[in-house]
Amino acid sequence: MLGYSALQAGDLDRAGGMFEDSIAVLREAGEAWGLGILLSDLAALRVIQDRLREAEACATEALALCCSLRDRRGVGWCLQSLAMVDTAAGRARRAAWLYGAADALLQSLGATGQVTFSRVQDRYLTLSRDAIGEPAFREAYDAGRTTPISRIMDPDPERHAFLTAPP
């Protein structure tokens, strides 16, 4: 909670450090659910800090954890974090696809995006749309939305390659 408080206060470095400390504790305790969520949040924070390699590593690990736990909401949040990474890395079409897949998954649960980062994610969503134009964005987004949830939720990390290179 202290990390989220620092984040809300705009102290991104402090928030990141606190997230990293909490991640270490969760790893030591073997607490996978909280670890997956916090890694996804740290990924979003690292995107904001323009630390894209770290962001992608965190989001990818979080996705594998959330899938292994069958945590559909967590997977949706991970997909949103990965979409932020792709937007920042100039992969707007892939980001649009990930946003669509995340939205479909979260809507299937009646859930929303991760509240802490929703405004930031909206900004990245707009950047993706602006980068490739509305028609291309809509096409990729719709393709993500129509990807079967069972395919997204596959607990085998080897089969998650489609998330970073969608069809």
pTM for this entry: 0.88
Buried b (16+ CB within 10 A) or exposed e, 5-36: ebbeeeeeeebbebbeebbeebeeeeebeebb
Taking 80 as the threshold, does the pLDDT of residue 17 lie above it? yes
Across the chain, mean pLDDT equals 88
Q: Please return the burial class of 146, using the count of CB atoms within 10 Å of its CB with bins 0-12, 13-18 and 19+.
A: exposed
What is the structure's pLDDT at 2? 86
Say what the pLDDT of residue 157 is: 60
CATH 3.40.50.300 assigned to domain 2-158? The reply is: no
